[in-house]
Structures are given as structure tokens and as C-alpha cells.
Chains A and B, each alone.
Chain A
Amino acid sequence: MEVILTSGLLATTPILLAALGGAINRQAGIVNIGLDGMMLAGAFVAVLVDWHTHQPAVACAAALAAGALVGWLFALPITRLGANEIVAGLGLAVFMPGLFGYILPIFFNQASTLEPSGIPGIPILRIPGLASIPGLGPVFFAQDPITYFSWLAIPLTWLLLSRTVLGLRLRAAGHNPQVALAAGLPLAGLRELSTLIAGLLAGLGGAQLALVSVQLFNKDMTAGRGFIALAAFYFGRARPLMTAVAAVVFGIADAVSIRLTTAGLPDQIPEMLPYLAVVAALVVVAVRRRLAGANAAGTATVTS
């Protein structure tokens, strides 16, 4: 149990970071299906920079920047040229592995994996005292710094969205674009900024993926985590807390499915869980809304 929780939390981090980014993005009016590609960019740049500087902290900063850059570039066709966000997101998920599949053989003479020898990983940071609490201590207080940050990012995301002027503007851009436009807000700019933030967080998630348990990059290493993050913010209806809860549950399911694979049991069942959970959640919300509407109006609010 302890092992599953520890590995579950470790697996949660990239999903959680990307999901929070996706939630901010969603609140500002863009459904980000490209999170996986942004995470991959972060992972690649993290390994590359760590290799050349031997400074994991610098590598993380570079991964943030790389994710942010990909996020911003990805937003432009959507906000400025009217590209469809869904198709564009699916396209980015094809483009990024393609790009690394192209770069690796040409510049690094590798087919799909970049594994520089002897590069420093991101160390596990045991919080003195707390880490020695029996049971929970090693689970929660012997993690890597990015994982701690990802927990901190939950209230930070909430603060940003609910308690800052920028958050209000971002939400206005998503929920009420007409009003936002009338108020003179730069709609496209706000959406681009939110996608940049999503890329930033997803990129950091990529760095955690590439530099904590392993120190390598593989062009398929995100293995759909960006899409699990998508499921998480859909499940959480783009609210920070519920999105985080979903990310943790899906992260633990991810860790369980990896253990099942090693045990030779079907891992496809827990793999399906996040996606089925989203559909179930949408049904619950829709039915509830319908019931509430029926009670309020005295009649069913069936349209068309």
C-alpha cells in the first residue's frame, strides 16, 4: 500500500501539473489537447540542458521555458488564425513525437532515446522530521521538489483564478468572451497567456518525468499522460481542487496499471478508468442539472 501510494504520487506529478495548466487554459477558453506534446518538449529540453550544465535546477527552468514556448506557439494558430483547437491539439500530439523522432537520429545518432551517461537526476528531498513519521512520512515527505511544487500549485492555481485580477480576466475570456471584448480585454492575448501557462506547467511535468526516477528522454515517454491530464481537468470541470483530486486518482491508477503489467495482469482496465470516469461525470452533471431544472420550473427542461 505504502509502495503504491509513493509510486502513485510520483506518477501523479506530471499529470497533476499538466491538468492544472489545462484547467487554467480551459477556464480561459481553450481546450488543450496538446498538453502531451508540451510535456514531451519539457522532458527533452530538461535532459538536454541537464546533460550540458549538470544542473538539474537549470534543466527544470529550461523545461519550463520550453513548455511555455510550445504552449504559446500552439495557441497562435487558434487565437489568430481561427484553427480548431481540437484538431490542432491532436496535431500537436502527432507533431512533437515526430519532431523528436526526426531530431534524435540526425543530431544525436539515436533512434528514439537520449540517455546521456552520468547526468545528475533531480534528487529526492526528504523533509527533516516529517519524513520519519511512520507510514505517511515516507509517502508524502520523501518526494522530489517538483512533486512538492505540484502540490503547492493546487492552491496557487485556485488563488490565480479566483483571487487575482488576471484570473478574473482569464475566466472572463473563457466564460463570457462578449463581455470580455466589450470591457476592452485582449481576448486573444489572454487565451495565449493561459496556453503559455499550461505549457509551462506541462513542461515542468516533463522535466519530472525525465529526471527523477530515470535520467533519459524517449520520444514516446509521456505515454499519453497529457491525455490523462485532459481527462482530469474535464473530470474536475476545470476547477483546481477537483482537477487535482482526479489527477491523484488517475495517477495512482497509472501506478497500479504499471504494477499490473509487471505482474502479467491486464493493465488495460485501469488504463480505461480516467476516460470512463469523465463520461460518467458528465452524465451525472447533466442529469443533476436536468433534475434541478425540472424542479425549479416544475417541468422538464427538454429542448429541441
Chain B
Amino acid sequence: MIWPAAESSSPALVGLGRRALRALGPLAITLAVGAGVLGLSGRNPLTIYALYLVQAVGGWSRLASTLAAATPLVLTGVGTSIGFRAGFFNVGLEGAVYVGALATAWAGTVWGQLPAPVLPALALLLGAAAGTAWLVVPALLRSLLAIDEVVTTLMLNYVGIALTTYLVLYHFLYKTIGNAQTPPIATSAQLAPLVPGTSLTAAAGLAFAILIGYGLFLRRTRLGAEVRTVGDNPRFAAAMGFSARRAAILTMLVGGALGGLAGGIVVLGVTYNFTAGFSTAPGYGYSGVAVAVLGRGSWVGLGLAALFFGALASAGGVIQLFGNVPIALTQILQGTLMIFAGIRLVQLRRRRRHPATGGETDSGGDGSWR
């Protein structure tokens, strides 16, 4: 699985230190790969990295941009991570982001008469609901038929992207522009920027509140303990009468809701419409998977990983203007970070995957590896 089981039971301080070390490995490799690419193309890596740093955290407005870019990633990171904690590899948030964003954009346009605080709230709720609905099928297939959720959620992402593109082009098209996008949402649906010139909105507060809520849920609630036990020790969970089925459905649907919410927040606070394929590479949902893997399940780790990804995205957007490097450098860094996100430089005992929900985790053969 993603994180070794031993981690959650090790003493807090040792665990934290170890986790920090593990997270630094992928970062160091990413920076090294980036430096190699820059060096080979005749750029000074230190100069470029310094530029990234300045553009990511140099001054209030750049900090606000980083925070804004991290906001949807906090949500998709938490949404993916909660599945990981229960032992389910839900990579379906990308699809949920798309359907959630379209639903939110629809509500923000059609319910335009509603006043300011009500409309965004309702539109986001609808987005979250759409995201939840999007993952009902894989959640049920996982819990009832033990069908590998990695495959179904991954496949449905491509369906979601194509489906929303179709819906925009043939049903919700903003004909005045001609691009594959919906009409702009009503002004009363827009989330106002907290720092002028950036996309930092109240949504950031909501996202970080949800992040803290995630930490509290896992540590302080009975249901959270149940979810963790199902993930860490399926046999013990079964003996305690904890339902792996319930954990599967709960965590995957919460993941869908958070994916939908992330998509909705981007629509109400950044793009003000739904544009086909708006979640460009690596994609909010897929970035969330990387954030969840890098964050190693803890809410602090998730927050830091989302901020780092957000910093890369916000600084990467302007690096071309100042650094004489192609914007694609950011994609190289993001891709490398994803490739190495889960590495364990210190090998630990590998955990077998989840026998409690049925044996079939594998669609190509009969193996039980992942």
C-alpha cells in the first residue's frame, strides 16, 4: 500500500521525523532532475530555482497566489488520502473535479437571481453532490463485487472528461465565444478575491478547515478510528466488527464530494465558467493523488504537499516571463515529483493489500500484488 502500517503506531516524534525525511527524498530527486535538465540546456539551476522561490513566496500577492493554487489541491489531496487511510486507492477525483465543476457552473448561471452568500454555497453543494454521484458506481462495485477501484476510477476519469466536453459542446455552450465553454456565472456566484489581483478567495479558508477536519475526524471520532483500522489492520477491523464495505463507500464518496467541491471552487473563484479540459496537466485530481502520497496521510503533510504543488503551479505560470525558460519546465518538475512521490529510501516491510474486502484486487491475473 502507500504507507507502511508501522508508521501510524510509532511514537509521534519519531514518526514525524521519519515522515519528513521520506517526503524530502522525492523533493530532492525532483530538484536534481530539474537541475540536470536546466544545466544541459545551458541554464543555471540556482538562478531559476531562486526565481521560482521569489515567484512562489516573495511578497504578499505571490504568497496569496500560491495559497490560491494550493486550495483545490488541498481538497483533492484530502479526498484521495481519506481513501488511502482506509486502504482504498481511489484515483477518481479527476473525473469528480470535472462533473463537479460543470454542475457548479450550471448552478452559478441558472440560479443567477439568488443573492451572493446563498448562490455560491448552493452551487458548491451541487458540485460536491455531482462529484459524490460520480463515484457511487466505483464505490458500490468495490464494496459489493470487490472490483479493483484503481481501474474503475481511472477509467471513469476519461469518461468524465469526455462526457463534460460533450455536455458543454452540445447542451451548455456559450455561443458568443465559440470555445468549448459555458456562459459566465452570475456575478453573485463569484467568490471575491481576498487579495486584489489574485484568485485567493474564502475557498482557501474552507479548504484548510476541511484539512483540519480530516485530521480531527481520523484521530478523534469513532468512525475515523474505524476507517483507520480497516486500512491499517483489516483482520483486526473485521474481528472488531468494523465494516470494510462501509469504509469503502464512505471514503470513496467523501473523495468524490471533495473532488466536486475542488472543481466548483475553481469555477467560482478562478475561471468563472466551465471550460472543457480546464484541469490541465497534471490535473487537479491527479495532483491530489500526488499530494496524498507525498503527505503520507497526516493533515500536516497533506497541507505542506499541497502548498508545494501550489507553489510550483503559481510560480511556474510566470517563470517563462522572467527566467527565459519554457513554461514546460514546471510540468517536468511536477511529473518527476509524481514519479518519485511514493518512494521509500529506507525499505520497510511491505504490507499485503486488504484481504478484508475480498481477494480480487487484480483484473489481469490472479496475483495479489499491487
Residues of A within 8 A of B (CB): 23, 26-27, 29, 31, 33, 74, 77, 81-88, 90-103, 105-107, 171, 174-177, 224, 227, 230-231, 233-234, 237-238, 266, 268-269, 271-272, 274-276, 278-279, 282-283, 285-287, 289-290, 303-304
CB < 8 Å: which of A29, A86, A268 contacts B91? A86
Whole-angstrom CA separation of A264 from B328 in the bound complex? 32
Binds A, one of B128-136, B156-164, B253-261: B156-164
Q: Are B344 and A94 in contact (CB under 8 A)?
A: no
CB distance from B292 to the nearest CB of A (A): 9
Q: A94-B281, A102-B326, A237-B363 are in contact. List 19 more A-B contacts (CB 8 A).
A: A23-B364, A27-B364, A29-B367, A84-B293, A87-B338, A91-B340, A93-B281, A95-B332, A98-B328, A101-B327, A102-B329, A176-B367, A268-B166, A275-B159, A282-B151, A286-B146, A287-B145, A290-B145, A304-B238
Q: Are A282 and B363 closer than 8 Å at their CB atoms?
A: yes
Chain A: which residue is nearest B43 at the CB level?
Answer: A106
Cβ–Cβ < 8 Å partners of A174 in chain B: 364-365, 367, 369
Bound Cα distance A227, B286 (Å): 15
Min Cβ gap B307→A in Å is 19
- Asked if A177 and B91 sit within 8 Å, CB to CB, the answer is no
**B244 CB-CB contact with A under 8 Å:** yes
Q: Considering the complex, which residues of chain B in the window 345-370 have a beta carbon less than 8 Å from any beta carbon of chain A?
A: 345, 347, 350, 356-360, 363-367, 369-370
User: Interface digits, B145-183 against A, CB 8 Å rule (1 contact, 0 not)?
Assistant: 111101110111011001101100110000000000000
**Interface core residue of A102, A224, A238, A271 (most chain B CB under 10 Å):** A102
CB distance from B364 to the nearest CB of A (A): 3
**Contact, CB under 8 Å: B141 / A26:** no
Contact A275 B155 (CB under 8 A): yes
Q: Do A272 and B159 have beta carbons less than 8 Å apart?
A: yes
Q: What is the distance, in angstroms, from B239's C-beta to the closest C-beta of chain A? A: 12
Contact status A283-B141, CB under 8 Å: yes
1/0 per position for B277-308, CB-CB distance to A under 8 A? 00001100010011001000000000000000
**B interface residues, Cβ below 8 angstroms from A:** 2, 37, 41, 89, 91, 137, 141, 145-148, 150-152, 154-156, 158-159, 162-163, 165-166, 169-170, 238, 243-245, 281-282, 286, 289-290, 293, 325-332, 334-345, 347, 350, 356-360, 363-367, 369-370
Q: Which residues of B contact A274 (CB under 8 A)?
A: 158
What residue in chain B is nearest A238 (Cβ atoms)? B364
Contacts of A283 in B (CB 8 A): 141, 145, 147
Shortest CB–CB separation between residue B106 and chain A, in angstroms? 18
Shortest CB-to-CB span from B155 to chain A, Å, is 4
Partner of B341, one of A27, A83, A287: A83
Among A31, A98, A304, the residue within 8 A (CB) of B356 is: A304
Specify the chain B residue showing the minimal Cβ separation from A34: B339
Task: Give 5 A-B contacts (CB < 8 Å), ordered by A residue.
Answer: A83-B341, A91-B334, A268-B162, A272-B162, A276-B159
Q: A96 to B151: give the CA distance in the assembly, Å.
A: 22
A98 touches B338 (CB 8 A): no
A106 adjacent to B326 (CB under 8 Å): yes
- The distance from the CB of B315 to the nearest CB of chain A, in whole angstroms, is 15
Q: Which residues of A contact B366 (CB under 8 A)?
A: 175
The residue that A105 contacts in the complex, of B326, B332, B340, B347, with Cβ under 8 A, is B326
CB–CB B336/A102 < 8 A: no
Given contacts A84-B2, A286-B360, A303-B146, contact A102 B163 (CB under 8 A): no
Report the minimal beta-carbon distance from B326 to chain A, rounded to whole angstroms. Answer: 5
Check if A102 sits within 8 Å of B37, measured CB to CB: yes
The residue from B163, B165, B245, B335 contacting A91, defined by CB atoms under 8 A apart: B335
Q: For the complex, give the distance between the alpha carbons of A155 and B332 in Å.
A: 37
Report the minimum CB–CB distance from B39 to chain A (whole Å): 12
Contacts of A97 in B (CB 8 A): 281, 328, 331
The chain B residue with its CB closest to the CB of A276 is B159
Given A94-B281, A278-B155, A303-B356, A271 and B162 contact (CB-CB distance below 8 Å) = yes
> Which of A26, A91, A92, A101 interacts with B328 by CB under 8 Å?
A101
Q: What is the minimal beta-carbon distance from B208 to any residue of chain A, in angstroms?
A: 24
A87 near B290: Cβ-Cβ < 8 Å: yes
Residues of A within 8 A of B339 (CB): 74, 77, 83, 87-88, 91-92, 95
Q: B245 and A268: CB pair below 8 A? A: no
